[in-house]
Structure 1
Amino acid sequence: MEKQKDKILIVDDVELNRAILCELFAGDYEILEADNGKTAVELMQQYHEEIAIVLMDIVMPIMNGLEALEIMNAKGLTEKTPIFLITAESSNDAISKGFRLGVVDVVLKPFNPDNICQRVNNIIELYRYRYKLENLVQEQMNKIEKQNEQLRNFNVAMIDTLSTIVEFRDCESGQHVQRIRQLTKIMLKELGRQNAEYKMSDKTIEDISMAAALHDIGKIAIPDYILNKPGRLTAEEFAIMKEHTLYGCEILESIDSLKQNKEQYRYHYNICRWHHEKWDGSGYPDGLIGKEIPIYAQIVALADCYDALTSVRCYKGAFTHEESVKMIEKGECGAFSPDLLQCFLKIAPSLPEILQSDDGLPAVVYHYQHPNTEKFSGKKCYSCDMDKNSRVARLLEIEREK
C-alpha cells in the first residue's frame, strides 16, 4: 500500500507568490518551499515519496523550472508526482516544452486562488485513484491464472474505478456512467424485441452495457480547461476534445487483462472509438455512415446524448425529459438510425421513472476578491479570511509600499 502523500512543494522565486499558495494549502498539507529549481530538485530527491504535487514557476534564478523538470524526469522523480506550472511565462514554446516534460497543467499568473485549489485537489485525487487502481491490478493479476471468474470480477471492478475517475475529472455528479449502462441495456433489449436482426443474448447485453461505462475513458487525457469550460469550445478546443475517442482506445490497448477476452475487448474498443459517429456520416473520428457503425456503439451514442441533454453540465442547464426527446426526434442532436430512433421513442415515456436522476444538487459558485479587500467571499472558499498579521497580508503591504 502506497504511503499517503501529505506534502506540497511550492517553487517560486517571489516570496509573495509562495506565501499565497502556502496559505491556500497549509490547512491540509505540509508545505515545502524552494526559491529556485536547484533547491526544488534537492527537495524532490529527499521527499518525492511524500510529495502529492509540485507547483512550480518557470522563470527563476540559478535554475529555471523547465531545467529542474528535465533533471527530475531524468532521475525518475516525477513518475508518481504531478507537476503544475504556475507562471507568467506564456510563450507557446515554454508551455509546449512543459507538457512534453510531463506537466499536467499550466496556470498563468495572476491566478485565481479558488480555481487553483479546485484544479490542484482534483489532480491529487486523480493520481490517488490512479495508483489505487494500479495496486488493485497488481494484486489481482497474481490470482487470475487459476480462475477465469476472478478475472471477470476484476474487470468489473476496474471498469467501475476507471469510470469513476472520468466522472471525477469531468465534474459529473457520480451517476452519469450508471445511467448510460442502464439506458444501453434497456435499448439493447427493446431493439432485440422489435427487430430479430438485433437480438442478443443476456450475456452479450451485459458485456456491452459494461463496456458502455468506459465510453469516455479518453477524457482523462483532455486538459481541464477544455473539459470543464463553462462556455462554447473554440474550433481548436473542440478539435482537442474530439481526440478523447482515440485517447480512450490507446488506454484500452494498454490494459492487458481486458484484451484477454477478445469479444468483450472489441465491445470496449468500438464503443470508445465510435460513440460520436452519426448515421449520416457527420460524426467523428472516422466519419462512418449507417451500418458501418456497430449497433451497440449507436445505442451508447443515443444514451449519452439523452443523458447529456437531461443533465446539468458546466456549459449548460438541464433540458426537461420532454424537450430532450423532441430534440432527439427532430434530429437537433445529429442523425440516428431510424430503427434505433423508433426503439428510443417507444421506451422514452418510461425513462424518467426508470433512471435515477441526480438533479437538484446545489450548484457551487466560487467568487474571489483581491486580498487587499476585507475577505474572500462566496458559497465556498478554500481560504479563510485574511488575518492582518498573516504572511500574505504583510507581503502585500510591502508590495503596496514599493
Structure 2
Amino acid sequence: MTKVLVIDDDPVSAEMLRGTLEHFGYEVQYECDGVEGFERIRSGEYSIVISDWDMPGMRGDELCRMVRDRQWSGYIYFILLTSHGDMAHLVSGLRSGADDFLVKPFHPEELRVRLRTGERLLAMESRDVLLFTLAKLTESRDNETGLHLERMREYGRVLTEELSLWKEFKDEVDGDFVQMMYLTLPLHDIGKVGIPDSILLKPGKLTTEEFEVMKQHAAIGGNTLAAAVEVNPHAKYLQIARDIAYYHHEKWDGSGYPFGLAGDNIPLCGRITALADVYDALTSKRVYKDKFSNDKAKSIILEGSGRHFDPRIVEAFLANEERFLEISRQLDSSHAKAEAPPLVPATV
C-alpha cells in the first residue's frame, strides 16, 4: 500500500484529504506544519507528499525546495495544495520543484488522477533500477553474458519494431511493447542464478542429466518474476519479464520446455526471444562450439520455421537480416576495442 504524507495546518481540510485518500486505498499520515512534515519526510517512508501552500513557520513551496535540495534514496513526488490559482504562484511552485498542483476546493477524482500520475513516475524509476539490478545479477554468473545481453535486447527491438508495422500485430505490438521488450529481454536467463556452477560454467558439452538440470532455469526465472508480479500485479514490465523467462525455450510445435506449449499459446514475447536467443547462440563463440556464419545461422533458423520458431517471427528476421548483422558487427567491434591492450611507445 502506498504511503502518502499530508501536511496542512487546517485540521478540517487535512481530515477531508485524509478521508479521500484512505477511500482510494492509500495509507495516510498527517502533520500540521512544514517543519514537522520535513522530519516525517526524512524517515524515508513516503514517496508521495501533499502539502498545503500557506502554513505558519514554513510555506509549502519552501518545504518543497528543502526536499529537492537534499539527496534521497528515491524520488519524492510532491503535490502542492493551494487556494492560489494565479500564474505567479504556479511559477513559484514549479521553481521550488513541485511536480503537481491542486487548487482548493478540489474534486476527489482530480486528486485520484494526479496521484496515479505520481505513481506511474515512481514506478518507472523503480522499474529501471530493478531491471538493471536483475540483469547485472544474471551477468555476474557468466563471463560471456554481458555482451550476449546487449545483443539480445537489440535483436529483440529489431523484431518487435518490425512486427509493430504488421496489421495482424497492431493490437499487441506498439511502441510501449517495443520498449518493454528492450528493457526486460536481458532477464530471459535470470533463472540461471539457480543453476550450479559445475553445470552452468562447464567447459564442454553437457550430459543428458546435466542438460535436464540446466533446463530448470526457465522455470526458476519465471517463478521468481511471477512472485514479483503477485506483489505488483499492475506492473506490465514484470508480466513481460516473467513471460520471457518462462517461455523463451518453448517451441512452435510444442516440443520445448518447461510447459510444452505450442503455437500462439506461447506468449509473443517468448516467441520473439526464442529466435533472438538461438541466433545469438549460433553466431557467438562458446566453449563448446565455434562461431557460426550468418548464412549458416540463417539456414538453421529457416529449418526451424514452423517447428522451433513462429514462421512470422522468422519472416520478421529475414526482413531485417542486415540489421542483425550490423548489430553483431558493432557490438563485437566495440568489445574488441575495450579489450585491446594499450599501445606502448617504442623505446630507443
- TM-score interval (norm. to shorter): 0.5 to 0.7
Q: In the alignment, is the contact (CA less than 8 A) between 1:311 and 1:319 conserved in 2? A: yes
Count of matched residue pairs: 226
1:300 aligned to 2:273? yes
On the 8 A contact 1:211/1:267 being kept in 2, the answer is: yes
Matches of 2:265 and 2:182 in 1, distance apart?
A: 20
Instruction: Give the secondary-structure state (helix, strand or coil) at the position aligned to 1:335.
Output: coil
Give the C-alpha shift of residue 265 in structure 1. Answer: 2.2
Q: Distance in 2 between matches of 1:331 and 1:189?
A: 22
The answer to whether the Cα contact below 8 Å between 2:226 and 2:239 also exists between their aligned partners in 1 is: no
Deviation at 1:350, TM superposition (A): 2.7
| Partner secondary structure for residue 336 of structure 1 | coil
Give the Cα separation in 2 of the matches to 1:357 and 1:291. 32
Give a deviation string over 1:153-187, Cα, whole Å, max 9, x none: 22112212211221221221522112211111111
What are the Cα deviations for residues 246-287 of structure 1, in whole angstroms up to 9, with x where unaligned? 111232134479735343222111111010000011100000
1:167 pairs, out of 135, 139, 158, with 139
Aligned residue for 2:300, secondary structure, equals helix
1:190 aligns with 2:162: yes
Q: Describe the shift of the 1:195–1:258 C-alpha distance in structure 2 as closer, same or farther (beyond 3 A).
A: farther
Alignment pair present for 1:264 and 2:237: yes
Deviations 1:321-348 (A, max 9, x none): 2221122112299621111111111111
Corresponding position: 1:205 with 2:178: yes
1:315 corresponds in structure 2 to 288
Structure 2 contact 141–193 (Cα < 8 Å) conserved = yes
Quickly say closer, same or farther: Cα 1:236–1:348, change in 2 above 3 A.
same
Alpha carbons of 1:279 and 1:354: their partners in 2 closer, same or farther (altered >3 Å)? same
Q: Distance in 1 between matches of 2:289 and 2:331?
A: 17
Provide the TM-score with structure 1 as the length reference.
Answer: 0.51
Distance in 1 separating the partners of 2:310 and 2:215: 22
Letter in 2 for 1:288: L
The 5-angstrom pairing of residues 232-271 of structure 1 reads 232-255=205-228, 259-271=232-244
Unaligned 5+ residue runs, structure 1?
1-137, 365-402
Matched with 1:153 is: 125
* CA apart distance, 1:300: 0.7
Q: How does 1:223-234 map to 2 (within 5 A)?
A: 223-234=196-207
Q: Answer yes or no: is the 8 Å Cα contact 1:185–1:209 preserved in 2.
A: yes
Q: Secondary structure at the match of 1:175?
A: helix
| Residue 151 of structure 2: aligned partner | 179
Q: Distance in 2 between matches of 1:172 and 1:258?
A: 32
Could you say if the C-alpha distance between residues 349 and 319 of structure 1 is closer, same or farther in structure 2, counting changes exceeding 3 Å? Answer: same
Match of 2:302 in 1: 329
Tell me if structure 2 keeps the 8 A contact 1:208–1:296: yes
For 1:152, give the aligned amino acid: M
For 1:331 and 1:308, locate their aligned partners in 2 and report how far apart those are by CA, in whole Å. 15
Q: Which amino acid in the other structure matches residue 263 of structure 2?
A: G
Q: Percent of counterpart pairs with the same letter?
A: 35
SS in 2 for 1:220: helix
2:311 to 323, 330, 338: 338
Taking the aligned partners of 1:195 and 1:176, their CA distance within structure 2 comes to 31
**Of the two, which has the highest radius of gyration?**
2
User: How is 1:270-281 mapped onto 2 (pairs within 5 angstroms)?
Assistant: 270-281=243-254
| Separation in 2, partners of 1:168, 1:358 | 20
Q: Distance in 2 between matches of 1:333 and 1:340?
A: 10
Q: State the Cα distance separating 1:143 from its structure 2 match.
A: 7.7
Report Cα offsets for 1:187-217 as digits up to 9, x if no partner: 1121232343355221122112222121110
2:251 match: secondary structure: coil
State whether residues 249 and 258 of structure 2, in contact with CA within 8 Å, keep that contact through their aligned partners in structure 1.
yes
> In structure 1, how many angstroms separate the alpha carbons of the residues matched to 2:311 and 2:305?
15
Unaligned ranges ≥5, structure 2: 1-71, 79-114, 340-348
Distance 1:211 1:283 in 2: 21
Matched to 2:151, the amino acid is R
TM-score, normalised relative to structure 2: 0.58
The alignment partner of 1:213 has SS state of helix
Which is richer in helix? 2
